[in-house]
Amino acid sequence: MSEATDTLNGFEAEQASTPRVVVLISGSGSNLQALIDAQSYDELGGEIVAVISNKADAYGLKRARDAGIEAVALPHREYDSREAFDGALIKVIERHEPDLVVLAGFMRILTPRFVQRFYGRMLNIHPSLLPAYQGLHTHARALADGVSEHGVSVHFVSEELDGGPVVVQAAVDVTPEDTEDSLQQKVQSREHLIYPIAVRWFLEGRLTLGAQGPTLDGTPLPPQGLRLSHADAAEELDEDLEDDDA
Ligand code: GAR
């Protein structure tokens, strides 16, 4: 074999082995941006090959195009039923042959067929410390309850809405000054930190979902996943810890 052929084969093998990610969004796509940024620093462990939105005007589609990623609008309103839409979505996703499907603010209730199709290779991010505050308006509900701690969870998707096995969580302190907006901002800063980490774990084969639940490096994860502490996250984000400790 000539040296040129050898090099070409090596190149092709490397191309073939890059894990493929499809991201589903419905809105702004700030989590998508965090994933795109991680990919640009070679820290995602794979390549985002397509971004699909059920809303044609989602800003995240522009983020995808700007990054040179295929952006697909698949408006759910054009389908007669949830089953028909999810069937079409499965086809579009599968065309891209993903190793992982990432839900990043994809605000749709999924049919069992859809969940089963990607079970064990589909992650979601949810703005609460699950199992607390499944569903919508998580920040307002946390404030109304007067909790001192709130946060975000990344979990494998199961048929139970926001109820799948949790992989990792990050907490934020809730202060008396917090509003829904300020809490959302705090939580989103943690979202942007932990989602690329969880995606990378999966794409590197370190994170799997087995019959007994999720494991990281072969070790079963606790029921609420790994917890990134407030201090760990603040350090990563270069936040002033003194204020928070006061
Ligand atoms: C994120 O805060 C995410 O946690 C939430 O939607 C937002 C999307 O923001 N997801 C859910 O509530 C899912 N139940 P983004 O479009 O800027 O990433």
DSSP 83-106: HHHHHHHHHHHHHT--SEEEESS-
Q: Indicate the residue among 59, 92, 118 that finishes a domain.
A: 118
Which residues make Cβ contacts (< 8 Å) with residue 160, sequence separation at least 6?
A: none
In a domain, 221, yes or no: yes
Q: What is the pLDDT confidence band of residue 241, given thresholds at 50, 70 and 90?
A: low
What is the rounded CA–CA span in Å between residue 100 and residue 201?
A: 11
Contact 28 CB / ligand 1 (< 6 Å): yes
User: Strands (DSSP E) along 104-186, which ranges?
Assistant: 122-126, 149-156, 166-173
Residue 6 located in a structural domain: no
Average pLDDT for residues 198-227, to the nearest whole number? Answer: 96
**Best of 32, 107, 181 to mutate for ligand 1, by most ligand atoms within 8 A of CB?**
107
Q: Which of 81, 102, 118 is the last residue of a domain?
A: 118
Helix (H) or strand (E) holding 228: strand 226-228
**Sheet harboring 213-216: ordered strands across?**
207-210, 213-216, 219-220
pTM of the model: 0.91
Is there a single domain that holds both residue 113 and residue 142?
Answer: no
Domain assignment present for residue 9? The answer is no
Question: Do 111 and 80 have their domain in common?
Answer: yes
Q: In this model, does residue 93 exceed pLDDT 50? A: yes
**Residues 215 and 100 occupy one common structural domain:** no
Do residues 132 and 224 make contact, with C-beta atoms less than 8 angstroms apart? no
One of 126, 139, 150, 192 is an active-site residue; which one? Answer: 126
Is the torsion defined by CA of 181, 187, 190, 194 positive or negative? negative
Identify whether residues 102 and 41 lie together within a single domain: yes
Q: Indicate whether 1 belongs to any domain.
A: no
Specify whether 171 is located in the same domain as 188.
Answer: yes
CA atoms within 13 A on the CB side of 100: 30
Q: Give the pLDDT confidence of 155-188 residue by residue, as tens digits.
A: 999 999 999 999 999 999 999 999 999 999 999 9
5 in a structural domain: no
- Shared-domain flag, residues 96 and 140: no
- Give CA–CA dist 73/70, Å, rounded: 10
Q: 235 pLDDT exceeds 90?
A: no
Q: Is 29 assigned a ligand-binding role in the annotation?
A: yes
- CA neighbor of 23 nearest in space, from 62, 64, 55, 59: 64
**Tally of structural domains, the chain:** 2
Report the percent of the chain where pLDDT is more than 70: 90
Closest residue by Cα to atom 12, ligand 1, is 126
Closest to 164 in 3D by CA, of 196, 141, 198: 198
For residues 195 and 166, membership in a common domain is answered with yes
> Which tens digits make up the pLDDT trace of 104-132?
999 999 999 999 999 999 999 999 999 99
Nearest-atom index, ligand 1, CA of 25: 16
CB-based contact 29:59 (threshold 8 Å): yes
Distance between Cα 127 and ligand 1 center (Å)? 7
pLDDT at site 60: 98
Q: 27 in ligand 1 pocket by Cβ < 6 Å?
A: yes
Any atom of ligand 1 within 6 Å of the Cβ of 126: yes
Ligand 1 proximity of 104 Cβ (cutoff 6 Å): yes
Q: In this structure, are 243 and 142 located in the same domain? A: yes
Identify the domain boundary among 51, 83, 118.
118
Would residue 235 count as lying in a domain?
yes
**Domain-embedded: residue 3:** no
Non-local (6+) Cβ contacts of 90 within 8 A are 113, 114, 117
- Structural domain includes residue 4: no
Q: Are 56 and 73 in contact (CB under 8 A)?
A: yes
33 lines ligand 1 (CB under 6 A): no
In terms of residue numbers, what domain contains 204? 126-246
Residues 113 and 171 in one domain: no
Burial 172-203 (b: 16+ CB within 10 A, else e): bebeeebeeeebbebbbbbbbbbbbbbbbbbb
One domain for residues 39 and 102: yes
H/E stretch holding 190 reads helix 180-203
pLDDT band, residue 2 (cuts 50/70/90) = very low
Query: Mean pLDDT score of the chain, rounded to an integer?
Result: 92
Scan for tokens 């928070």, then name that residue: 244
Task: Say how far apart CA 131 and CA 30 lie, in whole Å.
Answer: 23
Residue of 25, 87, 75, 19 lying closest to 49 (CA atoms): 19
Which residue is closest in CA terms to ligand 1's atom 7?
105
Whether 126 sits among the annotated catalytic residues: the reply is yes
- Compute the distance from residue 32 Cα to the ligand 1 centre, in Å: 10
